[in-house]
């Protein structure tokens, strides 16, 4: 018990958290400091266990000592008896039998004593190991506690606010939108011009499965890292709180990289996501620029005259495999295995399935056979899945007067 707890504790302590999980419940995984606190909390009970074991070992040692004394006493008595017994009596067979039996029992007792001594030694060794581990842990816990994941100290209501308040580097920051009950962690992309982008979504390498349910899309999933190396969906509730907090509207920028390394973007002004009662509906005023084309406005795939109308996204509610809010008889999100502002179904789909290499087929798309990749139809075909994406927002006034280009340059740093 004591040893297994200690082993586990050492293991946890040494494998520190390198990133923050955006979990279903919105709880982040513990930091190194958190683990240290946990160890401190359980230290007294572990020490009590150790003390208890030490006492028990002491008792065993005493018992063994007692047995040794008894054997010694019996040996002494035997010698004495041999010396004081007349020869005639020794010849008596019954007396000899007694002595032989007596000697045998001494041998048996000695064997038991050896066995006990063996156990005692191995227990003492274990005790020593435990004590050493305990000392190691104590020293570790006395070291000044520093989180492995670096979180910047500046806070704000979004990343632009953070940048305005002196946040100079990209990384993890706590933000608290005006209507939010609690602050939460975000990745802020801050460039040399003082632009502070709040990142909502990140695809990099397909390491994160985007086939999630309503609650997961609501609360967010994946991991945030200070070096922006991991995939995540920040969560609709946070996106709603961020995008609707200010009288200054936001621009949503979709940044994408294809498998040839080409980077393109599309900007949408006055981006907002409505509250959950309205199923986190997407609205924006207009496509305000970019070289990736306006896929959010739908795309004429050539299948049907109404293609463009039914693949536009402005005004759509959010759908997940378990919550169908789309304009289709079936369930787009279920067919595609993703959450998105589905129409019937899409021309832009950045939460789609990750396909290594980009090109995929109806067969690859599985049972439904529909295009379910990471799609931006005004740039690449719907049977081409993009390599990297970023969805991020910034107050609209930052993009007037050259800020826009600065943002694109910043993207080149990845």
Q: Which residues would be at the binding site for Ca ion (CB under 5 A)?
A: 324, 326, 328
The least CB distance from residue 326 to Ca ion, in Å, is 4
Least separation in angstroms between CB 306 and Ca ion: 16
For the CB of residue 223, give the shortest distance to Ca ion in the complex, in Å: 31
Nearer Cβ to Ca ion (174/328): 328
Number of other residues whose CB lies within 10 A of the CB of residue 155: 15
Rg for the chain, CA atoms, rounded: 36
What are the angstrom distances between the C-alpha of 277 and each of 38, 39, 76, 289? 39, 43, 93, 31
Q: Cβ of residue 325: shortest distance to Ca ion, in angstroms?
A: 8
Tell me the torsion sign for CA atoms 157, 159, 164, 170. positive
Q: Which residue is nearest to Ca ion (CB)?
A: 324
Nearest approach, Cβ of residue 194 and Ca ion (Å): 44
Which of 345, 244, 250 has its CA nearest to residue 288? 250
φ, ψ at 32 (rounded to 5°): -55, -40
Q: Which is nearer to Ca ion, 157 or 323 (CB)?
A: 323
Q: How many whole angstroms separate alpha carbon 324 and alpha carbon 328?
A: 9
Nearer Cβ to Ca ion (155/327)? 327
CA distance 210 to 203: 10
Tokens of 283: 């609205």
Alpha-carbon gap, residue 187 to 172, rounded angstroms: 5
Query: Distance between CA atoms of 184 and 177, rounded to whole angstroms?
Result: 9
SS3 state of residue 272: strand
CB of residue 239 vs Ca ion: minimum separation in angstroms?
Answer: 22
Q: Which is nearer to Ca ion, 297 or 326 (CB)?
A: 326
Pick 198 or 319: Cβ nearer Ca ion? 319
For residues 356 and 367, the answer to whether their CB atoms sit within 8 Å is: no
3-state secondary structure of 310: helix
Least Å distance between CB 320 and Ca ion?
12
Please identify, using beta-carbon distances, which residue of 102 and 328 lies nearer to Ca ion. Answer: 328
Rounded to the nearest whole angstrom, what is the least distance from the CB of residue 237 to Ca ion in the complex? 23
Give the tokens for residue 374: 């990471």
Cα–Cα dist 3/131, whole Å? 10
Least Å distance, CB 288 to Ca ion, is 30
Residue among 161 and 326 whose Cβ is closer to Ca ion: 326
CB nearer to Ca ion: give 307 or 324: 324
Nearer CB in complex with Ca ion: 258/326: 326
What is d(CA 375, CA 238) in angstroms, rounded to the nearest whole number? 24
Q: Is 333 in contact with 340 (CB distance < 8 Å)?
A: yes
Angle at Cα 188 formed by Cα 172 and Cα 170, nearest 5°? 75
């Amino acid at each position: 018990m004591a040893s297994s707890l200690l082993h586990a504790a050492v293991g946890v302590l040494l494998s520190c958290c390198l990133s923050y999980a955006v979990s279903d419940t919105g709880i982040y995984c513990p930091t190194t400091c958190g683990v240290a606190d946990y160890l401190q909390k359980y230290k007294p009970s572990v020490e009590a266990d150790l003390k208890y074991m030490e006492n028990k070992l002491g008792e065993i040692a005493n018992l063994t000592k007692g047995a040794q004394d008894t054997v010694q006493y019996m040996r002494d008595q035997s010698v004495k008896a041999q010396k004081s017994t007349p020869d005639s009596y020794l010849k008596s067979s019954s007396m000899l039998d007694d002595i032989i039996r007596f000697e045998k029992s001494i041998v048996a007792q000695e064997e038991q004593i050896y066995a006990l001594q063996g156990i005692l030694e191995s227990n003492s060794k274990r005790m020593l190991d435990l004590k050493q581990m305990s000392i190691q842990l104590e020293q570790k816990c006395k070291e000044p506690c520093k989180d492995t994941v670096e979180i910047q100290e500046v806070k704000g209501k979004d990343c632009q606010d953070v940048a305005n308040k002196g946040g100079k580097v990209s990384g993890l920051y706590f933000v608290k939108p005006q209507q939010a009950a609690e602050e939460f962690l975000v990745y802020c992309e801050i460039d040399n011009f003082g632009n502070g982008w709040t990142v909502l979504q990140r695809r990099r390498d397909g390491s994160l499965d985007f086939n999630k349910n309503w609650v997961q899309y609501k609360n967010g999933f994946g991991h945030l890292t200070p070096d922006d190396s991991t995939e995540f969906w920040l969560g609709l509730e946070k996106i709603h709180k961020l995008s609707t907090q200010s009288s200054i509207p936001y621009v949503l920028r979709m940044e994408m990289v294809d498998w040839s390394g080409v980077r393109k973007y599309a900007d949408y002004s006055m981006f907002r996501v409505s509250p959950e009662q309205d199923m986190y509906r997407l609205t924006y005023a207009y496509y305000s620029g970019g070289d990736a084309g306006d896929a959010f406005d739908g795309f004429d795939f050539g299948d049907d005259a109404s293609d463009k109308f039914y693949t536009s996204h402005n005004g759509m509610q959010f759908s997940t495999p378990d919550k169908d809010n789309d304009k289709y008889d079936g369930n787009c999100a279920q067919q595609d295995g993703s959450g998105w502002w589905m129409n019937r179904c899409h021309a832009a789909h950045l939460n789609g399935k990750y396909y290594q290499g980009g090109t995929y087929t109806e067969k690859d798309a599985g049972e439904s056979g529909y295009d379910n990749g990471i799609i931006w139809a005004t740039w690449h075909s719907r049977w081409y899945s993009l390599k990297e994406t970023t969805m991020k927002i910034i107050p609209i006034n930052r993009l007037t007067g050259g800020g826009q280009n600065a943002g694109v340059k910043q993207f080149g740093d990845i």
